[in-house]
Structure 1
Amino acid sequence: MKNLFFIVLFILGFQCVFSQEVQNKAVDSLYKEDHFYIGITYNLLGSIPNDLKQSGFSSGFHLGYIKDMPINQNRNVSIGIGIGYSANSFNQNLLVNKDNSRNFEYSILTDSDTYSKNKFSMHLVELPIEFRWRTSTVANYDFWRIYTGFKLGYVLASTTKHVGDLGAFKYNNVSGFNDFQYGLTLSVGYGTWNLHLYYALNPIFSSDTKINGNKIDINAIKVGLMFYIL
């Protein structure tokens, strides 16, 4: 939480300095809202079976750049296309371990007293595509915005970690995750502060990943704050 506090302070400070510089520039009638973005989310699991449960705080950190392409004369409606990076963790009771043949196997930890940590993490490179509406003008850089769109991500690395009665172990590049993750996005807010929602349209795990013969159809839901920096 301390690191999160300093990240937010840095974002706000950078935004104030940059806004002062922008006001000193000549007015450009062909302005665009190109943005660097930084997001912090609380990560949830959707479509979970009854015996799978989340525990603790699951977080996400997101950053990138979006190119703005206005599509109307007032330049307050546009299409945005960008590139970004996302790191996500999910604390829950889905155990990922290796069997005697060193293959990954999945099971549910039914007793929370038998472990102190159990999570999986993903690092993704992402392609956000947004339809953007805002109340901005050439000279106004504090405005209402509604950005909705689609985000495609490719999993660069996946990690699982467990600490409990079974021991302490960590696996990298775990098989069983869907290489591509995609979903719908929504950012709504004023100025620097914006509420952000991501809802995955496909499962985190591939169709070959199963527990007792049943597919693991859980998907990612991310709720948090998105900061846009001109």
Structure 2
Amino acid sequence: MRFVILFFLIVFQSQAQVENDSISDDRYFEDQFYLGLSYNFILNHPEGANQRNLSYGLQAGVIKDIPLNNTGTNAIGIGAGLALNSYYSNLVSNISNDIITYSINNDITRSKLETHLLEFPLEFRWRNSTAEEYKFWRIYGGIKAAYVLGARSKFDLDSISEGFTNTDITKFQYGLTLNFGYNTFNLHAYYALTELFNGNASVNGEVLQYRPLRIGLIFYIL
């Protein structure tokens, strides 16, 4: 909660500063909204575990663009958004008496872990745009923090389908981001600096140390 309050204080203070500065120069704003689609890789598999099916991620949000120079080519972006990420593998989650256990099953039809997150991206931005040019190169690097609003595990085996709310997920996550491209289509990469599970999860005596790596496309909209 303190992180969220601090985030909005920074946004409001930066907005006031930019409004005052705009009187004396010609700075402009870029990329106020974003929408992204990614493939979610799972790193650090335990022995016998592997990724299956199409693990995907969706993200969308708004970013406050804060120019750092009069030409607008350098800026900071501070934002907030929502994301949904799914991870498919042969790792099966079960719950009994509020205790979650994990096993590896190669006969499973489908096993999925899905997370819903509130995200806070912070980007350091470079672009070769102008106030009149809407097709330009951009390189945006930074860090993204996220709070997990909820997580769910589900598996299908023959005619059996079971799911439950998973509490073994790390609630506060963060990682490095890099977005670059030209005009509409931009490549997006996210590398997690925190583990997906909170350290209490294990399979066959091995602690689960999954880290997501997301690669995909991101679209910025004024």
TM-score if structure 1 supplies the norm length?
0.82
Distance apart, 1:36 and its partner CA: 0.5
Following superposition, the deviation at residue 212 of structure 1 comes to: 3.2
Tell me, what secondary structure is at the counterpart of 1:54?
coil
Q: 2:216 matched to which residue of 1?
A: 224
Q: Which amino acid aligns with 1:86?
A: A
Question: How many correspondences in the alignment?
Answer: 198
5+ residue gaps, structure 1: 1-27
Q: Does 1:107 align with 2:81?
A: no
Distance of 1:95 and 1:130 partners within structure 2 = 36
Superposed, which structure 2 residues align to 1:54-133 within 5 Å? 54-99=51-96, 101-109=97-105, 111=106, 114-133=107-126
2:109 alignment partner, SS class: strand
After the TM superposition, which segments of 4 or more aligned residues of structure 1 sit over 3 Å from their partners? none
Q: Which moved more, 1:32-41 or 1:163-172?
A: 163-172
Amino acid in the other structure paired with 1:32: F
After TM superposition, list the pairs within 5 Å mapping 1:125-164 onto structure 2: 125-164=118-157
Distance 1:166 1:206, change over 3 A: farther
In 2: Cα distance, 1:39 partner to 1:210 partner: 31
CA distance in 2, matches of 1:93, 1:202: 22
Deviation at 1:29, TM superposition (A): 2.1
Mapped to 2, the partners of 1:179 and 1:225 lie a distance apart of 25
Query: Given the alignment of the two structures, is residue 44 of structure 1 paired with residue 41 of structure 2, yes or no?
Result: yes
- For residue 211 of structure 1, what is the aligned residue in structure 2? 203
Question: Which residue of structure 2 aligns with residue 10 of structure 1?
Answer: none
Letter paired with 2:41: L
Select the residue among 129, 153, 163 that pairs with 1:170: 163
Q: What is the Cα deviation at residue 211 of structure 1?
A: 1.9
Question: Residues of 1 paired with 2:207 and 2:148: CA distance?
Answer: 20
Whole-angstrom distance in 2 between the partners of 1:212 and 1:93: 14
Structure 2 spans left out of the alignment, 5+ residues: 1-24
The aligned amino acid for 2:136 is F
Q: One-letter code of the match for 2:209?
A: D
What is the SS of the residue equivalent to 1:169?
A: strand
